Structure 1
């Protein structure tokens, strides 16, 4: 799993046009480490989230059946999650909590990495949960 995060971080570095000094300085400021190989998964997630806040978008090939981070299914999953939170069924409204739920249902660590089929499974699971309340 670490290797996927490391690959995404290096893609983000390229997309954001970061030179090596700037990149290493950013890693050091966030995790106190200068190499992704020395980081834990949690630290890699922090780096990736920082890059996302700077404009990095997770995209994938259409051939793989993966969806991009801006697809409507992500909005649907978030809206169902927040509706359950508003109903008092969920205490943690965060993206991290959504990703934990997605991982429990599909085994995929980050919602943005879901295939269309996996996203449908998560959506149906959340709809079923809503129907029970």
Structure 2
């Protein structure tokens, strides 16, 4: 099988995906408790190489599938969401955003929760598009929800 060592990946997205997939292989190795000799033997048998960095995209896919069949589980962590970037730190909206963040943290909810509130309440695609009055409405909604669920509102 040809080595990937000479192939140069130019597209940053491809490089990122490749690194993530190779990381996935190493996570599977750790989950299954493989020693180095067993791991290298598996790479040689499944992917035809001695090192994960030499795997082709097809080889990576085969190795990941093999690890999954062997019992490795790959789950993506639940992300907190994307914090709005367009709200300056000195504005009134920034203070409102900090209050929203505090209410979300107390409730254990991600940013997507308030993004869906903005869409439902004000037909806005993102929190960044809400003005001060609309952010106040979202805060009021979060506070009502906190009271309804028995959380202390500060």
TM range (shorter): 0.3 to 0.5
Greater per-residue helix proportion: 1
Compare relative contact order (CA 8 Å, sep 6+) and give the higher one, 1 or 2: 1
Select the structure of larger CA radius of gyration: 2
